Amino acid sequence: MDFSLNAAQQALQARTRAFIAEHIMPMERDPRQTAHGPTEALRTELVAKARAAGLLTPHASKEAGGLGLSHADKAIVFEEAGYSPLGPVALNIHAPDEGNIHLMEIVATPAQKKRWLQPLIDGHTRSCFCMTEPSPGAGADPSMLQTVALQDGDDYLINTCFTGGHAVVRFDNLRVPATDVLGKVGEGFRYAQLRLAPARLTHCMRWLGAARRAHDVAADYARQRRAFGRSLVEHEGVGFMLADNEMELHIARLTVWHCAWVLDQGEKGRHESSQAKVICSEALWRIVDRSVQVLGGSGVTDETIVARIFRDMRAFRIYDGPSEVHRWSMANRIARG
């Protein structure tokens, strides 16, 4: 395995880093942000910036207007985009759209791609992924899905309630023409699994960038802020926290790059992505937690971006499989011998 970046990857990394620093980070205090993300007006503006920079939807195939990135390329670009909470929205690589684009490129028919996928790739529409339901439906265990799609002539009728990450979606006799069914009937669970391994990994990539940002903010503060006659970083308790951050960023990045390499070999990478998801969500959480600690009282205010990263990062240990479910599935495999 060669983890060194080739010239094209280095150029893409530098271009994305500069784009985020110059065009996206200055917009982080834009008031058009809600608890559910940027307003549509702000999102459209951010997407227009990425489009102008040639960085919109870079993971989509070249034929569809993307950059046709490999998983290894994605690891580089997505980490840079994740450095700002607005970066993934600007590049159109946020969840769940990014994973949905990936799945539709594999499974959708040419007509479906034209109607549903292309506007999504072009940044004109949004998508959702509805799997989690209220009890007794699907949650950590997706096989408990209660929602049914019943054939009615040339259509399917979808019924039940879904809760998705930031919204509640209720389907009440939703009529879907059979031509809009994605892939083969009865294969939905398999397709969801197909989507999950790379989607888990891209979460790790984006959150890696966010954790690096939190660490950078904390390190700057620790170099400048003085207490008890010296800078904070010169106090072992603080310096060691920042050293731990650097080591865990390194481990998380290697874990991501290794899993990306496995997926680029054409492997399903389910085991590796599961491990990567647990390793990264927990290590990155510790990094952001330490960064808050180093920042003292300001760490829990919105004076810096760190408090926001801290709030958003917590959910990463829950979605796309809680840590306990990944460990449980690993333990089951170990038990089988």
Name the residue whose CB lies closest to ligand FAD: 139
Residue whose entry in the numeric block shows the structure tokens 């929602």 = 147
User: Pattern of binders to ligand FAD over 164-183, x per CB under 6 A?
Assistant: xx------------------
Instruction: Out of 9, 70, 319, 330, name the contact with ligand FAD by CB under 6 A.
Output: 319
Q: How far apart are CA 249 and CA 280, in angstroms?
A: 9
Task: Please state, in angstroms and rounded to a whole number, the distance separating the CA atoms of residues 49 and 275.
Answer: 35
Distances (CA, A) of 296 to 218, 230, 282: 10, 16, 22
Rounded to whole angstroms, how far apart are CA atoms 314 and 319? Answer: 10
Interface with ligand FAD (CB under 6 A), residue total: 16
Quick one: DSSP state of residue 154?
A: T
Contact call for residue 207 and ligand FAD (CB under 6 A): no
User: In angstroms, what is the minimal distance from the CB of 114 to ligand FAD?
Assistant: 25
**64/318 with CB nearer ligand FAD:** 318
Closest by CA to 87, choosing from 249, 207, 215, is 207
Least Å distance, CB 323 to ligand FAD, is 7
CA-wise closest residue to 123 among 45, 233, 33: 45
Binding to ligand FAD, residues 132-171 (CB under 6 A): 132, 139-140, 164-165
284 binds ligand FAD (CB under 6 A): no
Can you tell me which of 40, 152, 246, 324 binds ligand FAD, judged by CB under 6 A? 324
For position 131 contacting ligand FAD by CB under 6 A, the verdict is: yes
Q: Distance from first CA to last CA of the chain, Å, rounded?
A: 28
Both tokens of 52, joined, read 């102008």
Answer for which of 96, 123, 269, 299 binds ligand FAD (CB under 6 A) is 96
Nearest to 120 by CA among 47, 177, 24, 53: 47
Pick the binder of ligand FAD from 129, 156, 207, 285 (CB under 6 A).
129
Which region, judged by CB under 6 A, interacts with ligand FAD, from 264-272, 290-298, 302-310, 313-321?
313-321
Tokens coding 236:
């072992």
Residue 130 interacts with ligand FAD (CB under 6 A): yes or no? yes
Whole-Å CA distances, 40 to 34, 52, 56, 200, 224: 11, 18, 16, 25, 38
Q: Which stretch binds ligand FAD (CB under 6 A): 38-46, 124-132, 290-298, 300-308?
A: 124-132
Binding residues (CB under 6 A) for ligand FAD: these are 96, 129-132, 139-140, 164-165, 315, 318-319, 322, 324-325, 328
